Structure 1
Amino acid sequence: MTTFKSTHHTARNIVIKLGGSALEGLNSAFFQKIQALQREGYRVIITHGGGPAINRTLAAHQVASHVLHGIRVTTAEAIDLVKTTLIGQVNPLLVHELNRAGIEAIGLNGFDGQLLESTFLDEAIYGYVGQIKKVNTKLLNTILNTNIVPVIACIGTTTDGQALNINGDTVASEVALAIEAESLLLVTDVAGIRIEGQYQQQVTKSAIEKWIADEHIYGGMIPKVQGALACLAAGIPSVQIVDDTLTGTTIVGCQALTQFSHNSI
């Protein structure tokens, strides 16, 4: 993962990562929150995967698929189907929904201006899965400066034009680091971290580690919070686990001040 290098600038960037399940159930509150962020002066970037849509496409073509260590193993047969599903179906539909809600948006993927220059993660193990080497921040800033929302599908490309499937959380975190985002929002099907029946508004790394040890955090929430902590460690100031109303839990470093809580959105 890239290391965050802070430089002085006035742009206020937020990256919102939409998972597959969240993509297929967005409500009006989601679009209203995007507009509210823009009114407050934030520049918004959306990244997305498309697990459910990919699963349907692969099944329809009788192509087997499995997940290893949270990563979809992508064969030579599968990569073209993954690419066409994300770029040809999921991305334009999301862009259309944003535009229809009055939010100017443009669909992007790794092929556009070499946006996500990538190499194979480990071809022998994962097949056509990539790791990002460079994000074209010049392209993103050009778009963001026009108040248009870039909507990035999780497809990278090698320098010789080979499409690679990239984990959605990886794309979101690498983009957030590259543009020095104030916060990364991971949209899930739950409103953040819930401890003993109560959703938490703001938590620290040390609290999360204790809750995992005490088994208050368990199951599918563990990889979510571990991914969030990895983003914090790389240098993103705050990471939020939220539902599709962008309400949830803000995770900050122990030394961080409450400068960007979930209430700000």
Structure 2
Amino acid sequence: MTTSKSTQHIVRKRQVIKLGGSMLDELSDTFFQGVKKLQQDGIQVVIVHGGGPSINQELADRGVTSSVVKGFRVTSAEAIGIVQSIMIGQVNPSLVHRFNQEGVKAVGLSGYDANLFTCDLLDFDTYGYVGKIKSVETEILDTLLDAGITPVISCVGKTESGEPLNVNADTVASRIALAVEAESLLLVTDTSGIRIQDQPQTEVEPQAIYGWIKTEDIYGGMIPKVMAAIDCLEAGIPSVKIVCQKLNGTVITNEGAIA
């Protein structure tokens, strides 16, 4: 992946917050207060969001079948048009409106805007119109963030020729976090981080997570969350946090990356 950055060197504190599609209708005032508190503390915030439930509903309403393979939505030619229209036309502006309503200045973006991210096909025979990010252009993000505006990014990418592609939200969040040199990536969930034998874990390393999965102390829906976090660490992000809407939870760090 290539990344284009502005030439002027400015030290910035940044965090990327990834919101799963299932979280969007449940966001509370507490979450937005947390975002404002980060900004008051001098941290620039980028939001990346999914939209799975809304897409699923529209696909069902139109009778378009869809499946998930290895965490990726298989996206047909018919489905990609629906994904694009729902994400860019409905989910993103609705979320942007909510941020602005709550006093957080926000602008909606997708991969199309200022060539934010350009993609190749991941594996057309297996996944259809699903993209893997090839390059990220950060100039638009730097401009917005330095102006005190929060970018809210939907996970619709494009090929160099402009064809729309569906991109996994965790992938977009991690690539954006790397490109803007974020200090951490926050994965907002409906749980307050990792709990082992009902004890909250404030900071853990991947090796401990693998052990807890084997002993089934980590199970069910938490497994894909922690695996997504580890994937982000392996991509080069210094720390990943699994947090609740209060933005409190578990910090996952890779000892090898910070040694």
TM-score if structure 1 supplies the norm length?
0.92
- Further displaced range: 221-230 or 157-166: 221-230
- Further displaced range: 176-185 or 8-17: 8-17
| Cα distance in 1 for residues equivalent to 2:48 and 2:222 | 20
| Cα distance in 1 for residues equivalent to 2:227 and 2:130 | 21
Quick one: which amino acid aligns to residue 47 of structure 2?
Answer: I
Using the aligned pairs only, state the percent identity: 55
Map of 2:59 onto structure 1:
58
Displacement of 1:198: 2.0
Is the counterpart of residue 92 in structure 1 residue 99 in structure 2?
A: no
| Cα distance in 1 for residues equivalent to 2:189 and 2:14 | 20
CA contact (8 A) 1:22 1:244 kept: no
- Further displaced range: 201-210 or 144-153: 201-210
| Cα distance in 2 for residues equivalent to 1:165 and 1:20 | 14
| Cα distance in 2 for residues equivalent to 1:157 and 1:150 | 18
Q: 1:1-265 maps to which residues of 2 (within 5 A)?
A: 9-254=10-255
| Cα distance in 2 for residues equivalent to 1:203 and 1:2 | 30
Displacement of 1:241: 0.7
Displacement of 1:254: 2.3
Displacement of 1:139: 1.3
Map of 1:262 onto structure 2:
none
Quick one: which amino acid aligns to residue 76 of structure 1?
Answer: A
Quick one: which amino acid aligns to residue 161 of structure 2?
Answer: D
Q: Secondary structure at the match of 1:164?
A: strand
Displacement of 1:59: 0.8
Q: Secondary structure at the match of 1:24?
A: helix
Q: Deviations over 1:4-63 (max 9, x none)?
A: xxxx75111100000011111000000000000001100100000101100111111111
Which ranges of structure 2 fall in alignment gaps of 5 or more residues?
4-8
Q: Which runs of 4+ in 1 moved over 6 A?
A: none
Q: Secondary structure at the match of 2:220?
A: coil
| Cα distance in 1 for residues equivalent to 2:65 and 2:245 | 30
Displacement of 1:141: 0.5
Quick one: which amino acid aligns to residue 85 of structure 1?
Answer: I
Going from structure 1 to structure 2, the CA distance change for 1:2 and 1:207 (only over 3 Å counts) comes to farther
Q: Secondary structure at the match of 1:59?
A: helix
Which ranges of structure 1 fall in alignment gaps of 5 or more residues?
258-265
